[in-house]
Structure 1
Amino acid sequence: MARATAADLLEPYRRKRDFSRTAEPAGAVAAPAPDGRRRFVVQRHRARRLHYDFRLEIDGVLVSWAVPRGPTLDPGVRRLAVHVEDHPLEYETFEGVIPAGEYGGGDVIVWDAGLWEPHGTDDPGQAVRDGELHLDMAGERLRGRFVLVRSDRNDRDGGRSGSEKEQWLLLHKHDRWAQAGWDAEDHTTSVLSGRTNDEVRARPQQVWHSDLPADRAAVPVAGHAVPGPSEAELAALEELAHLGNEGRWTVHGRTLRVTNLDKVLFPGRDGELPVTKRELLAYAARIAPVLVPYLRGRAVNLHRYPDGAQEKGFWHKEVPPRAPAWLPRWDNPDADPGETKTYLVVDEPAALVWAAGFGALEWHPWTSPTAAPDRPDYALFDIDPGEHTSWEEVVELARLHRTAFEHLQVRAYPKVTGRRGIQVWVPIARGPGFDETREWVERVSRTVGAVLPDLVSWKWQKRDRSGLARLDYTQNAVNKTLVAPYSPRPGPAAPVSTPITWDELEDPELRPDRWTMRTVLDRIAQRGDLFAGVLDHSQTLPTIT
């Protein structure tokens, strides 16, 4: 039986992943180092369950086992190790977040790394196929002689591709590196960055781009981590509500004047109590660490409802003269007389709390940065349902968009609007102007609309659309905006525009207003920030013929 090629060995790995959605490296097969040195990496991986990924460089790939309780230096302990698919060598430095809904979704740190060499064989690949490998490891944490041995002796098919999910044992021999009682969970930081899994999940330091060479594939994520409000800060807001309904609240390092804290801003639903201004302020303070990166360096248009969502709102763009001096802002040099000149820029979390206190229930960032207001770095798709469009029809249109993006090999990120529709953000490298991005979005939209022409109208005026949906490409223009991810919307229970995975389009419980200010933070805690990929602006729009 012919030995599998290195390219064949990576096929199961590639088959399980959609590299338009996950930042993991697609992987190029590498030749062995000329000096014969072999690398290893162990990654602490919090997916559905915590486990350690134990990976050895063999035959140009990383042969991999999942070790639920982690490796140990204790020679009296044997660890279960489940043989999984081989990984590309570039994976040795992967540290970040695999999106929820993708294979292995969760946060990953490089828990240990170093060099290893086989003991008692010159062909470790064959040793793995035979079911027993002895190896000497020289890492920062794992040192000394280890043994990997297949525990299921009945499965010896001679091919590694057929051996996924085999159960093996990993153990350490009695040598000078052995330590009784040694536990991997006593060492929970990355040897690459010094961060914990929690810190990586809060803000991935880099993402992988599979279309780039390995030495340039790791690109820093834009923005910086922002700490959340402290329990003391949140308790102080609660106390203000009981002492007089207004006062001074210090949060995120700024002191804000807050008033009318018990005013109802959103009616309740399903028997819940209505949502007050105090709850909105607390939500703004808590969501700011996640939301600020999407607003930083951009003008923000505010949709204000000072009398609550049950009353008619209005757009407010100009920073008022009474705004605090510390509030970040931007003067638009291209503003004509009578147009808004000074815009809010949410460069820090307290600015978002100020906007909420100002009566802004919706937050809409520009699609271009203040540094280049005529050069967008997002292309926007808006599936705007008409009066007669059902939710099932909205989802069907979204699925067609998903197919279009897959065909074009474009990274695109959907979110429910919190009202009735679905929006999609496509991050792009700064360069094309609004005319070019609008034309590109229109071409994609018209291609999608042609598949279901009975559902879509291209009429400009809503009254002329006969209740049909509109695929609104016209939002791709300067000072045109779509609502920010995680922004509230004016509706019962304060629904939130929430990022979703493309796979969630198949969820029968999906609704555009499914998540609210009271539930979305739990979703983020469980699934992470599903929109984080839009912060990577390295993508160029492909030509549509």
Structure 2
Amino acid sequence: MVVRREKGAPTGSGGSSELEKYAEKRDFQKTPEPAPGVAPRDDGGPLRFVVQKHAARRMHYDLRLEADGVLKSWAVPKGPSLDPAEKRLAVHVEDHPLDYAGFEGVIPKGEYGAGEVIVWDTGTYVPDEPRGAEFESRAQAEQAIREGEAAGKIAVRFFGQKLHGSWALVRMKGADSKDWLLIKHSDDFADPDQDILRNERSVLSGASVGDIRSGRTPDPEYQTVHPEALSGARASPFPSDLAPMLPSLTEKAFSHPDWIFEPKLDGIRAIALLQEDSVRLLTRAGNDATSRYPALEHDLAKLDREIVLDGEIVALDDSGRPSFERLQQRMHLARPADIRRADQTVPIVYFVFDVLYADGYDLRRVPLQQRRRLLESSVTSSERIRLVESFAEDGETAFEAFVGFGLEGIIAKRADSLYEPGRRTQAWLKVKATLSDDFVVVGWTPGVGARAPTFGALALATFDSEHNLRFVSTVGSGFDDRMLQELRQRLDALVTNEAPVGEAPASYGPIKWVRPELVVEVKFNQWTEDGRLRAPVFMRLRDDKVPAEAVGSVLSPAPVEVAPPPATAGVQLVMEQLDIRGENAVLEVDGHQIKCTHLDKVFWPAANGHPQVTKRDLLKYLAQVSPYMLTHLKDRPLTLVRCPDGMLGERFYQKHIELGLPKFVDTVRLYAEHTDKDGEYVMCNNLATLLWLGQVAALELHPQYARVSPEPDGYHLGTDFVGSEEAIEASLLNYPDFVVFDLDPYIYSGDEAKGEEPALNRIAYERTCEVAGWVKELLDSLKLTAFVKTSGKTGLHVFVPILRQLDYDAARSACETIGRFLLRSHSKEVTMDWTVNKRTGKIFFDHNQNVRGKTLSAAFSPRLAPEASVSVPLRWEELGKVYPTDFTVHTAPARMIEHGDPWAAILDAKNDIHGLLGS
């Protein structure tokens, strides 16, 4: 609905006399309630409503509707109910001034209505009589309220934070009766089983009536949110554009306490950039669509703040469901007259689900749950702008509800996820009721019979990771006559003699090739093992998308165990404490105290153009990368490399720490074969432990590849780790999460002293990257997902996550099998020889790292290299483009802030390698 306030609108019958009654009952020298005044009337925007919870002589709720410059008010003793069968008494009382909508506080004893008041809910509303009616102006809406009040029935649609949907106020018999009934209409927001009043806190302050009465500070979770107070917010100029973050496809709905779930809406993704009087709507492809949606531009401008929002432009059908077919009727209109007509015939809504920038602060590095709080306090739902509802934890129920309503499915988002512009990430997942995806049309096959004038089937392709088109299938069903004719006309204009893809299998018949410019959406049952679509059916043209967006989706597994949310608030506090100068400090971390000494001791001297690194620098680094690093350390016994006097001093390896451990350090007692004894191993499961390890000069952290936690795939394994080798062999710690490939270059720089290991040099590293690429090609051919990181020194580590079905011996055999296969074609470049002098000039493929108790450096662990370099996870496309010393204790945090952790979902991407071993 577009609402525009018209000058000269009447103030309403009896409006001023009603306010006089309000004033006569109150002494404004004693009560903090607002006095009537000449309240400025809005020049536009929707009508507001408020529900206040009022602990007067008897607890009740006050419903107030803005109309004609006042708040028309009803006292509801039992409060609103979502049960349409419940008819709640609502006593019509005097009008209140508009300023009363924001009133919270205590009305003093002896004054009218003495007691505590909170704003229980607030938002906007429109008249809803007749049901679903549209109002072209604010004056028409107010006229409808006046007529409804006179007739004794007011129907409204609420867009609040607690109250939604259609409601009615019905006057009881008697023209002068002040007794009305508040009734919830039967619609999608009705819920007889939900007691909405159990949500008792103010939507403004988070205070309860009890908080106001006792003077307690409201729960910080509900306090007004300011961008600068959010962890990860950075002062930044207003962005000129932003690409949206994209979800990966997963096969089924799931529930998880660390995830939230939103409906998947069928519309056009759009970033809204609001600055002063300027509004821009950018599509996913970066096109400016503002002029096509003037009603949205008008309503977004009412937000009147510098902000960037992410959302979906949606057209709704008559039942209130998203209709992409309706949206298609207007998405390509260009003439202003056509667009104005479309605003009447095909109204649209901007559903907002994220905020990326606000009031001078870039919020992309702020966790989603905090961004969501800011969004809810920044955007009030209205007819054209609505907040997407989110649901915590229970994704399976949310999926059933949304699909039952006729929606496509759900979007699942990690509550701690940061915003990664332009990236398809596993921190956001989409679950569809029917599998579908976008494909590029690369040709068609001839039609026969009735289809002879058009075509038989469309030839489809997707872009692979190298941005090459790959043929996937043909689709011949799902077309109506109109679409067949339209597509054939458009295809004729795109005919080419050059095939955009490699030859399609002969079984698909002759194909007439076209330039890859059209995108279609196709539903299907599943992907086959050879990368084809099973049972494809055409759904629609996607003129709103460009071919480059048609990237083949790989189903991601639904997460069952997810790394805990980043301790961003704790990180910020640590950074502030470490900024205070002084040799010694006591850090307050998550309720624990860590005594830190010699903070200015140099751990890495300046070298090779890189600055020195002190203990203070190390602790800052560990704090900054902790949200990423802890994921890779959790529940894993550690081997520590400790250097009390820095990397140039004495160093020693430490596995067992029996005494002097702080209470916050988790440990596991396990049998050690080399000592034939049980020993206490440290695990790093929290920020406090990570910082304590920095304080005790553990400069390198090496976790085992196996975990002590059985979740989610180890419940069949033992948890007894002590007493004997047999106990360990039957336990979780004998079943690794990974097969690891350690690639070490034995290509010397020429600067090494006799007997020294090869030093880092560019030729050696480039060769190592080349070998890693061959390893990936081999793993891809086996359909195994792999991850790569720098070792932090000279080599690379490739990790293949596996289900915990195979012990270390089997993992080592799998790695050796792949290594031997690689040697067949690359014997001049690769070696698996254990004789050191036979490795010279080659890359050593070390499969023997897959042994129980052996370790490699952790992701993000500093290394004892002169430059204070760090072992950093990479994206595969970065191989050969970055160098190990690009990532140091000083520089790596900025990379994490900018790009996140490419290994964040490594445990969600486990491979079944039984087939590789023939088992």
Coarse TM-score class (shorter-chain normalised): 0.5 to 0.7
Q: 1:470 and 1:459, CA in 2 relative to 1: closer, same or farther beyond 3 A?
A: same
Distance change (3 Å), C-alpha of 1:149 and 1:284: closer
TM-score (norm 1): 0.68
Alpha-carbon contact 2:248-2:426 (below 8 Å) kept: no
**Among candidates 233, 256, 270, match of residue 574 of structure 2:** 233
- 2:249 aligned to 18, 21, 25, which one? 25
SS at the partner of 1:373? helix
Following the alignment from structure 1 to structure 2, what is the Cα–Cα distance between the partners of residues 70 and 111?
14
CA apart distance, 1:261: 0.8
1:75 partner amino acid: A
Rounded to whole Å, the distance in 1 between the matches of 2:291 and 2:853 is: 54
The verdict on how the C-alpha distance between 1:403 and 1:329 changes in structure 2, with shifts beyond 3 A counting, is: same
Letter in 2 for 1:238: D
Q: Deviations over 1:256-300 (max 9, x none)?
A: 111111111112235443100111011111211111111111111
Q: Give the alignment partner of residue 648 of structure 2, picking from 286, 290, 310.
A: 310
Q: Pick the aligned partner of 2:320 from 138, 148, 168.
A: 138
- Cα gap change, 1:40 to 1:248, in 2 (>3 Å): same
Amino acid at match of 2:578: L
**What is the DSSP-based 3-state SS (H/G/I as helix, E as strand, rest coil) of the residue aligned with 2:886?**
coil
- Structure 2: distance between partners of 1:191 and 1:67: 27
- Residue aligning to 1:397: 771
**Shift of residue 384 of structure 1?**
1.0
Aligned residue in 1 for 2:915? 543
2:857 is paired with a residue whose SS is coil
190-199 or 359-368: bigger deviation:
190-199
- The verdict on how the C-alpha distance between 1:538 and 1:333 changes in structure 2, with shifts beyond 3 A counting, is same
Indicate yes or no: 2:547 matched with 1:365: no
Q: 1:533 aligns with which of 894, 898, 905?
A: 905
CA distance 1:522–1:70, change in 2 (3 Å):
farther
Q: Tell me which residue corresponds to 2:295.
A: 75
1:525 partner SS: helix
Q: Structure 1, residues 92-122: CA drift from partner, whole Å, max 9, x if none?
A: xxxxxxxxxxxxxxxxx994598955xxxxx
Please tell me whether the aligned partners of residues 112 and 139 of structure 1 are also in contact (alpha carbons under 8 angstroms).
no
Deviation at 1:183, TM superposition (A): 12
| 1:111–1:183 CA distance, 2 compared to 1 (3 A) | closer
Contact 2:808 2:851 in 1 (8 A): yes
Give 1:104-503 correspondences, 5 Å limit: 111=311, 116-117=316-317, 138=320, 147-150=329-332, 173-174=343-344, 191-193=389-391, 199-201=416-418, 218-220=558-560, 222-228=562-568, 229-239=570-580, 242-243=581-582, 245-333=583-671, 337=675, 339=677, 341-371=679-709, 372-388=732-748, 390-466=764-840, 468-503=842-877
Contact 2:266 2:322 in 1 (8 A): no
| Alignment CA distance shift 1:473-1:145 (3 Å) | closer
1:216-235 deviations in Å (ceiling 9; x for gaps): 95334522112223444322
1:135-188 alpha-carbon deviations (Å, 9 max, x no partner):
x6835999x9885243689xxxxxxxxxxxxxx9899613797799x9996659
Q: Report the Cα distance in structure 2 between the residues aligned to 1:112 and 1:179, rounded to whole angstroms.
A: 8
Moved more, 271-280 or 325-334: 325-334
Question: Secondary structure, in 3 states, of the residue corresponding to 1:379?
Answer: strand
Instruction: Indicate if the aligned counterparts of 1:377 and 1:537 stay in contact, CA closer than 8 A.
Output: no
**In structure 1, what is the Cα distance between the partners aligned to 2:671 and 2:340?**
65
Q: Which moved more, 1:228-237 or 1:527-536?
A: 228-237
Give the SS at the match of 1:265.
Answer: strand
TM score, norm. by length of structure 2: 0.42
Q: Hey, what does 2:886 align to over in structure 1?
A: 514
Say if 2:313 and 2:348, in contact at 8 Å, map to a contact too.
no
Distance 2:628 2:565 in 1: 8
For structure 1, the 5+ residue unaligned runs are: 1-21, 29-37, 55-64, 80-108, 118-135, 154-167
In 2, Cα distance between equivalents of 1:76 and 1:113: 9
Please name the residue that 1:33 is paired with.
none
- Cα distance change, pair 345–467 in 1 and its aligned pair in 2 (3 A): same
Aligned length: 435
Give yes or no for contact 1:418–1:512 (8 Å, CA) kept in 2: yes
1:137–1:146: 8 Å Cα contact kept in structure 2?
no
Q: Distance in 2 between matches of 1:71 and 1:319?
A: 67
Kindly state the Cα deviation for residue 376 of structure 1 after the two structures are TM-superposed.
0.8
How far the C-alpha of 1:314 sits from its partner, in A, is 2.1
Range with bigger deviation, 446-455 or 300-309: 446-455
Q: Give SS of 2:588's match.
A: strand
Provide the C-alpha distance between the structure 1 equivalents of 2:705 and 2:291, rounded to a whole number of angstroms. Answer: 47
2:788·2:797 contact (CA, 8 Å) conserved in 1?
yes
Q: Return closer, same or farther for 1:171/1:441 CA change in 2, 3 Å cut-off.
A: farther
- State whether residues 670 and 681 of structure 2, in contact with CA within 8 Å, keep that contact through their aligned partners in structure 1: yes
Q: In structure 1, what residue type is equivalent to 2:603? A: L
The structure 1 residue matched to 2:266, chosen from 37, 40, 62, is 40
Distance in 2 of aligned mates of 1:198 and 1:148: 35
Distance of 1:412 and 1:171 partners within structure 2 = 53
Q: CA deviation at 1:342?
A: 0.8
Deviates more, 1:517-526 or 1:184-193: 184-193
- Runs (5+) with no aligned partner, structure 2: 1-245, 253-263, 273-279, 300-308, 356-377, 380-385, 393-411, 420-424, 436-525, 529-553, 710-731, 749-762
Quote the offset at 1:199 in angstroms. 4.0
**CA distance change for structure 1 residues 458 and 183 in 2, over 3 Å: closer, same or farther?**
closer
**Structure 1 Cα separation of the partners of residues 594 and 672 of structure 2:** 31
Tell me: CA distance 1:271–1:375, structure 2 relative to 1, closer, same or farther (3 Å).
Answer: closer
Kindly state the Cα deviation for residue 511 of structure 1 after the two structures are TM-superposed: 1.3
SS of equivalent to 1:150: coil
Q: Which has the higher contact order (CA 8 A, sep 6+)?
A: 1
CA contact (8 A) 1:418 1:514 kept: no
Q: Are the aligned partners of 2:672 and 2:678 in contact in 1 as well (CA < 8 Å)?
A: no
